[in-house]
Amino acid sequence: MKYITILLGVIGGFSWIVAYILIICKGVKDKTYGMPLIPLVLNFGYEFVYSFCYPSNLFFNFVWFLLDIGIVYTYFKYGYKSFNKFYSVEKKEWYFISVFAFLMGFLINFLGYQFFSQNLNNIPDGQINIFLAYIWLLFISVCMLVMFFQRRNSDGQSFIIVCLMLSGNFSYFLQISFCPVFNHCVSPFLLLIMLLSIVVEIYYARLIFKQLIKEKKNPYSIF
């Protein structure tokens, strides 16, 4: 069981590493960003906090953090065009909103750790990041689905990226469901959160696949 748990964690971690790389590459290729602002700031804040403030699962968090810098670059490089199109905001206002959002993403993760550490004694400090991570994964899934409905095209997105996200989340779901190490933080609530993210990603993958066919693009192409 120990080695299966490790294997599932490695599959999940590397699935998200490759997904992040492809999100960056697709964003640069399509001149857009591939992760919406809300999950991006929560993700970036999470990986910063658990790489430098409360180090945990350091290898994956640090690698994800470095890759997130690339995704943040595509957001600030190409993001204003999308925001201006859909929300009609001035560039200075967009910069203010964006910087404020990143600050809040950091504080939510930093102060969230302190809150759970002080008030939820049945969850070990080393597993608080797991609890928060799976909630943020749902944010990523839902917000990327909303981004697709908003854009109505495949810009910054791909079927392969969604499949990698799905592979990562499903591996983590299996890991926390069957590994006794996570008994302290596993609950019907957390399992429901993870199942919801998987269901949303399956639906999102179906929509992206159909959209790519509609655009006469190969859904199985990396870029």
User: pLDDT tens digits for 134-147?
Assistant: 899 999 999 999 99
Contact by Cβ (8 Å): 196, 138: yes
Contact by Cβ (8 Å): 30, 151: no
DSSP for residue 184: T
Compute mean pLDDT per 10 residues along the chain, 223 residues long, and list them: 83 96 96 96 96 91 96 96 89 96 97 85 71 90 95 94 96 83 70 93 97 95 79
Q: Which of 81, 80, 58, 82 is nearest to 146 (CA)?
A: 82
Q: According to the model, what pLDDT value does residue 96 have? A: 96
Query: What's the distance, CA 210 to chain centroid?
Result: 23
Q: According to the model, what pLDDT value does residue 185 have? A: 62
Q: Which residue has the tokens 């299966």?
A: 4
Contact by Cβ (8 Å): 203, 142: no
User: pLDDT tens digits for 60-77?
Assistant: 999 999 999 999 999 999
Contact by Cβ (8 Å): 37, 101: yes
Domains of the chain, by residue range, sit at: 2-214
Q: According to the model, what pLDDT value does residue 180 have? A: 63
Q: According to the model, what pLDDT value does residue 125 have? A: 59
The H-assigned helical ranges of 152-186 are 159-178
Contact by Cβ (8 Å): 166, 201: yes
CA dist 111 and 127 (Å) reads 15
List of residues 6+ apart from 122 with CB closer than 8 A: 184
CA dist 92 and 84 (Å) reads 11
**Looking at this protein, which amino acid is placed at residue 176?**
I
Q: According to the model, what pLDDT value does residue 3 have? A: 78
Q: According to the model, what pLDDT value does residue 50 have? A: 95
CA dist 35 → 24, 93, 140, 199, 217 (Å): 9, 20, 8, 18, 21
- Run of H or E including 14: helix 2-30
Query: 199 in helix, strand or coil?
Result: helix
